[in-house]
Structure 1
Amino acid sequence: MSRPMQFDRVPLSARIGMAIILAYVAAALFGPFLAPYGQTEVAGDQWTPLFWSQPGPDGDVFFLLGTDHLGRDLLTRLLYGARNSIGIALVTTLLAFAAGVGIGLLAATKQGVVDQIASRSIDVLMAFPSLIFALMILAVLGSSIPVLIVVIALLNMASVFRITRALAMDLEAQDFVDVAKLRGESALWIMRRELLPNAMVPLAAEFGLRFCFVLLFIASLSFIGLGIQPPMADWGSMVRENASAISFGVFTPLIPAAAIAGLTIGVNLVIDWLTNSRSVGNEA
């Protein structure tokens, strides 16, 4: 069985990653309460620069990150976009893992016909290019948030299934699983008490990586107009809406792009620590 991880030996890089993630989570949870304006409120002129102030009906108004192509406060849009982008990506990843891990553990435990049916079904799903499959379904059913979540979760569930099944197959050959079977434990008990706890570290690392993939995929769909729809704030659509500002020397679209990159870097710093800790634990 795997050894427990020593959280008191967290390296600096992982601490930085955790701090970045906590900052983004705080922005997603409390951003709408901290935002100086409404999500769709036009508060100023078009594409004002950073740290810009201008006269308003009730006195001067200040824009820390400037405004977008419609004159909406960019900081406000980023904070609301954090809730929309991170929230939808998190729900999608959780759904993909619930399905992928459950089916993967079942296939590895039962094997035989159950494993063949599950594996071949996943092979059919993975045969379709992810982007083309998503574009086809979204074009037919529309880009509502429930459809977006289900489609992207289905695509990522296939990869989660493959990883979970491979991990569970390795654990199935261990003595403690054989002992549980000899005691007459049920398949559900073995999945829940023997396989899943011993696969938690690599699955946690995969969860973080999969979350980043989902976040980037949603941003990509929003960039081409098939993701989160206006007027909801979304980092991907914010890049698309303000892309033409680059031609005028305004770097507004780089701010939401930097928000996506910052969260991805923070998650990957934690993932690196998890994978390295697992390698050290296995060698020990």
Structure 2
Amino acid sequence: MGVLTTIFWFLVAIAGCLAAGWLFRTGAIAITPAGVKRELRTAPLTASFGMLMILLYILVAIFAPLIAPFPERAVVGTEYMPWNSVHLLGTDNLGRDMLSRLIFGARNTVGIAFATTLLAFLIGSVFGMLAATVGGWLDQGLSRLVDVLMAIPALIFALLLLTIFGTSILTLILVIAVIDSTRVYRLARSVALNIVVMDYIEAAKLRGEGLWRLITREILPNALAPLVAEFGLRFCFVFLAISALSFLGLGLQPPLADWGSMVKENATLISFGDITPLLPAGAIALLTVSVNFVVDWQLHRASGLKE
């Protein structure tokens, strides 16, 4: 009976997610412009659910001080208090409200992951397209440097650099952005190499367009679809990397609320059958799955395939 009950509630959860995705898509179609309506009508229910979850995470991150019942760093009770009417998810190892820290964790973890991914794409895309356009020694030099950096396991490399340079937020963003920019560089260069041989690129060169204008006006618009899809995937990897580093103690430092460190700090409760430490892990997993749902839809659109 236990297995049947688990399967039943699992199916109920899936049905609820699909229903939420359908309601979100219906509402979004009703209030968006005509051009957006056409795109939303093609979105599968999984992508609609993913967009709904991403929107909710963004709203929680923005309005965290208004939503959270207690301040992020305030000690409001004794340690490891059980769930009750005042502390809906209990308290952590220092007596801070878990629900409040879970809400503030959305701002810290997701916000820093987004900033890191944005910087990684800025570095990787610019140098990748520059290498493909200029070619020659610049392409060879940048590509060999990227090959060397990619040969080192990313997590070990990040741990080494953070141990050397410290674990401030700025250092964390720069280290992970530089490491992940190598993956973006390879993709941007590969896509740009297929574009620079096109006739319209030759025509633009004959018109006398400069290097920067050639990249921003001719190459980037035609490389945007795969880069946007990669942005979603890369965000997931960065998000998970920051959470993993926080779990290991080299990510976001206390007293900032971070989902990775919250799992580590409260892992003791799992031994007593308390699922509270799994909630931050669940928040990480839910956002990762939601982003992948939307990315899969965008990749399908970019491929030009029909159902």
Question: Which residue among 114, 137, 145 is the counterpart of 1:113?
Answer: 137
TM-score by length of 1: 0.91
- 1:19 aligned partner, one-letter code: L
What are the residue-to-residue correspondences of 1:4-15 with 2, within 5 Å? Answer: 7-8=39-40, 9-15=42-48
How far 1:189 moved relative to its partner?
1.2
Q: Does 1:195 align with 2:239?
A: no
Question: Which residue among 76, 85, 93 is the counterpart of 1:43?
Answer: 76
Contact between 1:47 and 1:252, CA under 8 Å: does it hold in 2? no
Separation in 1, partners of 2:151, 2:70: 46
Q: Does 1:256 align with 2:280?
A: yes
Separation in 1, partners of 2:171, 2:285: 25
Question: Residue deviations 1:129-150, cap 9 Å, x none?
Answer: 2112111111122111111111
How far 1:244 moved relative to its partner?
1.1
Partner of 1:56: none
User: Would you tell me which structure has more helix in proportion to its own residues?
Assistant: 2
Partner of 2:88: 64
Contact between 1:143 and 1:228, CA under 8 Å: does it hold in 2? yes
Question: Residue deviations 1:106-149, cap 9 Å, x none?
Answer: 01111111111111111121122211211111112211111111
Contact between 1:177 and 1:194, CA under 8 Å: does it hold in 2? yes
**Total equivalences in the alignment:** 271
Question: Residue deviations 1:199-251, cap 9 Å, x none?
Answer: 11110111111111011001001101111001110000000001111111111
How far 1:94 moved relative to its partner?
0.8
SS at match of 2:90: coil
Partner of 1:229: 253
What are the residue-to-residue correspondences of 1:24-103 with 2, within 5 Å? Answer: 24-50=57-83, 52-53=84-85, 62-103=86-127
- 1:98 aligned partner, one-letter code: L
Partner of 1:125: 149
Which consecutive residues of structure 1, in runs of 5 or more, have no partner in the other structure?
54-61
Question: Which residue among 195, 218, 231 is the counterpart of 1:171?
Answer: 195
The structure whose RCO (Cα within 8 Å, separation 6+) is larger is 1
Separation in 2, partners of 1:213, 1:279: 23
RMSD (Å) for aligned C-alpha atoms: 1.8
Separation in 1, partners of 2:229, 2:89: 33
Contact between 1:245 and 1:251, CA under 8 Å: does it hold in 2? yes
Partner of 1:57: none
Question: Which residue among 290, 293, 298 is the counterpart of 1:266?
Answer: 290
Question: Which residue among 11, 15, 20 is the counterpart of 2:53?
Answer: 20
Separation in 1, partners of 2:45, 2:304: 17
What are the residue-to-residue correspondences of 1:213-224 with 2, within 5 Å? Answer: 213-224=237-248
Q: Which stretches of structure 1, 4 residues or longer, exceed 6 Å deviation after superposition?
A: none
TM-score by length of 2: 0.84
SS at match of 1:266: helix
- 1:41 aligned partner, one-letter code: A
How far 1:35 moved relative to its partner?
0.9
